[in-house]
Structures are given as structure tokens and as C-alpha cells.
Chain A
Amino acid sequence: MKNVHELKAKEKKLTEWSYVWHPIERGYNNRTLYVNVGTLEIKEKPVSQQMKEKFVGGKGFGLRLLWDATTPTTKWNDPENEIIISPGPIGGITQYSGAGKSLVVSLSPQTDSVMDSNVGGFFGPFMKFAGFDALEIQGKSDKDIIIYIDAINHKVEIFEDPGFSTDSHILGEELTEYFANDPKEAKNIGIVSTGAAADNSLIGMLNFTFWDVKRKKIRLKQAGRGGIGTVFRDKKIKAIVAKIDGVKPNLNNVADMEKITVPGRDYAKEMAEYDDIQNQMRKKGTANIVNVMSDYDLLPTHNFKFGSHKDAYKIHSDILRDKYFTQGINDACWIGCAMQCAKGVDDFIPKTGPYKGQKVIVDGPEYETAAGLGANLGIFDYDAIIEQNFYCDTYGICTITWGTIVAFLMECYENGIINKEITGGLELNFGNIPAALELLHQCASGEGFGKIAGMGVRKIKQYLIENYNADPNFLNDIAMENKGLEYSQYVSKESLAQQGGYAMTNKGPQHDEAWLIFMDMVNNQIPTFENKADALHWFPMFRTWFGLQGLCKIVWNDIIPPDNKFEKEPHKIPKHVRNYLSVWEGVTGIPMTEEELIRQSERVYNFQRIFNIRRGYGLRKHDAQPYRAAGPVTVEEYESRAERYDGQLKELIGVNPEGKTTEEKIKILRKYREEQYEKLLDAVYERRGWNKNGVPTIEHLKKIGMDLPELIEVVAPLQ
């Protein structure tokens, strides 16, 4: 760690802007903060009533501001591109669990379109308490800078980086010490930063800190998806810091606190009573499902080829609970959250890399990390998974993205598409832990084959086709990306609805829009295309709502009330949906129904779809999926589950598999599955009010109150 006193002596302020603070009114500041790091302009912008009605907050505000700031041809590294951070009207309350989330929106270096990424930690709520509903950063600096939002003196400052460390786990500690006048103030500081990889790759992510009172250390939560960390460093931002004078019970000045506290207390009671017999989120975090996913053949293994592995027991979640995660400690990433699932590994000692031999705290592994950096790479060793987790975090790399990239490269290596000559000596076989770690270090430093890996799956695929005559058909089948974003860590082959839940997403295949595998594949609750389309309407819209409000999705369905089984639609966890209606009304004073909740999301969801269309994407062809997401690509895959696939040939397609080669059977199954997916697109588009090309109809936009002239201009030629 650098000497903070020496850093302070070198501080050089570039600009300062003062503002008049006023209290939040029912969840809104009614203004946003604009910072141009190129021109050093800082100003506030009013939030109109229409902005609140149409875009609500969070991702909605981010999308609206980004649309207005950019043109259809703006590139991710143009000065016009922005990074917008916004929590939403409910964000920052402490009386209902999971209310510390922010949404980060930008044009992505990976997808060339709109990216959104949700994240916990302190910065979002602190920025809101400082007086702003969103932070909008534009421009490009020519030197490394720190943006400081000082909510005590009501100032925003930009100063030159006096020489802070680069990687987040150290940078966060340095900045906390730098801005805290005494150790008690550490809890009042929220930081956004990234790490070395964001300078040297297209997959950089952002870390948001939270202060762990018990451990007296900073912790890290990630806005991982789509390379927004790379945009951050392209603007030469080293960190953004917000400092407040403390969290008080009602900084949101809500309309009716009882409408929040009553369901909030009830929810906390559910967690206290039932978590231990349900998911054990407080003991295992989201990684509790690693073994469950393996049992249901859903744990991605060897680049999504398989859903389970004989060694999967070695990464059973009990091992994390019993050997790695510190127990009996409040691991909430925002104040007041009863879920407390941000588990951590204390005093972990990396065996490789720049921090080899040092004791560090590792945030996670969460499920996606354990699956992506473990099973998907053929690595069934928690020491290796946790070491990759630590380095991904501090280097500023999304663990989901990195897992899918390395899995793809390993399959390419095992198929001879790349070799030691190309990788610079790395033997990228599945399960090779030293090679996986070395590739990660190379990516962070922008050296060797790590530089290629840091381009992301889509660009690697193009690189291999252009430079090494790789078979484009095979690569397109096994490269687990859609829209330029890497898949998150679930095997979707046996759930048609989840295939749509992944590939029809606005930003790319992330499970935060819909997770329908159990409903579809196991429960058989949504057998018809109409059923699946209904699910692919309600769930993505409901889940979008969390990202408008500053809420965490996990809190909704990772604890189940005991009387849920008597509900008409138990899979929606209706009691918790009713809680959210009450919390919204409690904060804003505006009554809410489930229908209006879905409508709020529909407006923003359709806006994002049209934003994609405006940029030349967002059509049916962009919802295509790699065949690996839908079925067995290789003979090895088919034969590993031959009984299942042969049965489907007979029962679903009416073809007798006997006497046919595996290649012939793969071809027949593929034709069927691809036709099913096209039918799914038709059904879902119709349900969502879109035409056959995936374009929202003008009639639908009028119905949901989103017939804004700028949207009509985009969709009118495509009706």
C-alpha cells in the first residue's frame, strides 16, 4: 500500500464545483450530476416529471441520459460515450432488504451497443444521499484523475491521480484511508474503481466498495458485464469517491415508513427462520447451488459441453461453508439487508502473481464464479477457483466473462484450433490450473496470449478465423456469446424457455432477465409456446423493475415464505411481490399494482430494445444463439447423453435412432431444436408487442405510453 500522507502532499486539484444540497423527496433528488472529465465541466441537471414517469430511475435514467448524449454511430471510446450510475427511487433505504443496488449504463466495447450492469456496495446510495439521482460521466481526460463527491461540504472535485495503486483491493484501502479523517469515517466512503486489466483488455469491470465494519476492511462488489471498466479507464478515471456524514434512518424522506418497515421486518424474520433449511444464503451465499446445478445437469462443464462432472463433488457448496467462508458475520453489501449473502474468504494466500504469498480477503466465490472459473474450465479445486476470483476482482475482470472466455479457449486448444505456438507456450487443456492463472495475469498486464483473451469471445473467434483458418461454423457453434457478450453460467440445452431467456436479452446472455430452467425443464409448467412466451414476458419485466429501483433480485426469491405453497402462482413468490408494491408506495407515496409494476418495466425494456435498433442491432437476427446453448454440437456431447437424445428423437420428432450414426442423429436433433427456437421467437415477440423482426410495434408503444417521437422515428421504417 502506498503512503497516503505522501500522496496527499502531491494532490493537484483540477476543478471544483459547489452545489446547494437539499433533502431527498420521497426517493428522488429530482436532479442528476453531470461531470465531463475532458472539459472539466460539472453541473446539475433537473429531472423532469416525464423522466420519472417514463424511466423511473436506475437503468431507466441511465438509458435516457445515454440516448440523449450519444448518436447512433457513437463508439465506446468516443468522448461522447458516457458511464451513468443510478440507484433508483427505492435505493438507499435500510428498512427492506437488498436496497443498495445501482445500475451502471454505457456503450460497451464488447457489444458496440447498450450495456447495463447491476452492482451492490455503498457508492450508489451515497451518491444519492449526496444529492443526485444519477451520475453522468462524459468526456475523456488526458491524465489519470479521481472524481470526488463530497457530500459534507457539498462539493464535487476532480484532481489528478497523485500515484495511487492500480488494483482495486489496494486502491480501495488507499482511497478509504485518504478520505477518512479518522478510522470511524471509513464506513462513510463509497468508491468505484477497476484494475490493471481495464487498461489492457475490452472486458474491464467496475468494483464498488463497501466497508466491512466487523473486519475493518473494504469489500468489493462488481458491475461486471460488458467492459464498462474498460470505458472507465479509457476516460482515464482512476476512481470515483463519494463521502457522506453517515447513513441515517430516513435519508430518502419516504412518504410512509410503515409501508416499508412492516414487510421489511417480516422479510427479515423469514430469513432468520428459514434460510438455514432452504438455501443457506447466509452461510454459502449464491454458491449454495453449485452442487444443485450439477445434480440437475445444469452446471456448465468444459465450455458448456456438459451439465455435470464426476469430480463436481469436489466443489460442493458445503466445502465453501465449512472450509473457506467466514461464518457468523454479517455479510450484507448494503445496510439493513437480512440476506447477507456477500460471503468472503479471509486470509487467503495466493500462490501466483503479484500478490503471491500475501494474505488477502476474497469476495466470493459466488455461484457464477465457482461455475465459470471452476467446472466450466474443468477445475474442481476451490483453492484455484478462489485465487482466480481474487485476481479477477482486483484486476477488474468480470468472473462470468472470464470463465466463458477461458472455457472457449480451452476447447479450441483441445481441438487443435490453437496450440502452444499460438498461446506462447500455455497448455490450455481443461483443468490446467497454472495455465489458467498465467493467462489471467497476462490479460491483466496486456501481455502474450492474455492480450488476445482480453478481447472477449466474439473478437477472439473472428481473430482465429482470420489468422488461423479456424472453421467458422464450428467456432460459431461453440463460442458461447450472443450480441458480443459471453453467456453466464447455466446450461440451457434442455430448456427452450431459458434459451430465449438468454439470447433474447437486451444486453446479451445474462441470467438477470429470466431464469426459467426449473419451471420449464423440471416442473414442465410452461409446456406450450404461449406459456413460455408469457413467462418470457412476465419474468424479464418483473426482474427489470429491480434495476429501475435500486433493488437486489436475489432478495425476491432466495427465501420462500412457508405459506407460499398455498398461493395461486407460487413460482412468482407473490407475497414478496406484494411487499415490493408496499415498499414502492411507502417510498414514493404513489399506489402501485402488479400491472403497473410490469408496465413501468415494459416502458424501459422497449426503450432499450429500440436503443439497440437505433444503433443497428436489436432485431431478430441479433437474438440468434450459438448452437451449444441449444443442443449437442459434438459426437462426444451427444453420446454422453445418448439415452436422453435418442429418446427425444423418438418421442418428440418421431424418428427411430436405430441404425443411424451419431452425426446423423445430431443433424436431425439440431434441425428440430433450431425450428423450436424460431417458433419461440415468434411467440415471445407477439407477446411482447413486437413484430416478426423483433421490432416494437407503434401500436404497442402507444399502449404502454412510450410513443415518444424519437422512438417512433426509429421503429417506423421497420413496421
Chain B
Amino acid sequence: MQITLNNKIEVFPNETLTIKEILELKKFTYPKLIVKLNDVIIEKEDFDSTFVKEGDNLMILHLLAGG
């Protein structure tokens, strides 16, 4: 599938993936994230039950760090 991830085109070999799977594939291990799928906020407890499909717009915003 081809999706827009953080304003960039991203292609995955799978037809669909959960948000949790995308986080794992991208090695997005930072804990302070805001996830929006097609402009809808997805709560952390729903990451493994929310599926991303062809054409979706996924935002995974990493909040600031660094003192």
C-alpha cells in the first residue's frame, strides 16, 4: 500500500497494517507521540486495532525532547 506518512509518500509491501505495526516497522520507539489517521486522533490503546490502508494520511508526530 501507498500512504502519506508525515507529509511524505511511503510505500509498504502489505495491503494493510495496524498503526502498531507501522510504528514497529519505522522503529518509532519514542513514547511521546500524537497519532492522527486522516485527521482523526488515535489513542494509544487503539494502535493495535486501527488499520491503515491504501491512500490514508497518517501523521505520527513526535513531540519535542532534549534539554
Contact = CB atoms under 8 A, between A and B. Distances in A.
Q: Do A and B come from one complex?
A: yes
Nearest to B7: A524
Interface string B41-67: 100000000000000000111111111
B32 A278 contact: yes
Contact of A296 (B27, B59, B63): B27
Contacts of A434: none
B6 interface: yes
A309 to B, nearest CB: 15
B67 A558 contact: yes
Contacts of A564: 34, 63
Given A524-B7, A553-B67, A571-B64, A518 B30 contact: yes
B32 A279 contact: yes
Interface string B6-45: 1110000000000000000001111110100000010000
Nearest to A501: B66
A668 interface: no
Given A286-B67, A518-B63, A279 B31 contact: yes
A28 interface: no
Contacts of B63: 518, 557, 560, 564, 570-571, 573
Contact of A524 (B8, B29, B41): B8
A552 B28 CA distance: 27
Given A522-B62, A571-B61, A565 B29 contact: no
Contacts of B28: 295, 522
B64 A518 contact: yes
Contacts of A138: none
A558 B14 CA distance: 35
A527 B29 CA distance: 23
Contact of A558 (B27, B29, B65): B65
Contact of A557 (B6, B29, B30, B64): B64
Interface residues of A, number: 34
A291 interface: yes
A519 B16 CA distance: 26
Nearest to A366: B67
Interface in A524-568: 524-525, 527, 552-554, 557-558, 560, 564-566
Nearest to A566: B41
Interface string A46-62: 00000000000000000
Contact of B29 (A277, A295, A490): A295
B61 A278 contact: no
B40 to A, nearest CB: 11
B61 A557 contact: no
Given A523-B6, A524-B6, A524-B7, A565 B64 contact: no
Contact of A515 (B8, B27, B66): B66
Contacts of B31: 277-279
A335 interface: no
Interface in A498-531: 511-512, 515, 517-519, 522-525, 527
Contacts of B67: 286, 367, 511-512, 552-554, 558
Contacts of A553: 67
A518 B65 contact: yes
A653 to B, nearest CB: 17
A525 B30 contact: no
Nearest to A572: B64
A126 B32 CA distance: 35
Nearest to B35: A565
A515 B65 contact: yes
Contacts of A14: none
Interface string A277-297: 111000000100101100110
A570 B34 contact: yes
Contacts of B59: 523
A130 B48 CA distance: 56
A114 to B, nearest CB: 21
Contact of A570 (B29, B30, B61): B61
B29 to A, nearest CB: 5
Given A296-B27, A565-B34, A525 B61 contact: yes
A566 B39 CA distance: 11
Contacts of A515: 64-66
Interface in A581-631: none
Nearest to A292: B30
A524 B10 CA distance: 13
26 contacts: A277-B31, A278-B31, A278-B32, A279-B32, A289-B66, A292-B29, A292-B30, A292-B65, A295-B29, A367-B67, A515-B66, A518-B62, A519-B64, A522-B62, A523-B59, A523-B60, A523-B62, A524-B8, A525-B7, A525-B61, A554-B67, A558-B67, A560-B63, A566-B41, A570-B61, A571-B61
Q: Which 5 A-B pairs have the closest CB atoms?
A: A515-B66, A518-B62, A554-B67, A524-B7, A565-B34
Interface of B: 6-8, 27-32, 34, 41, 59-67
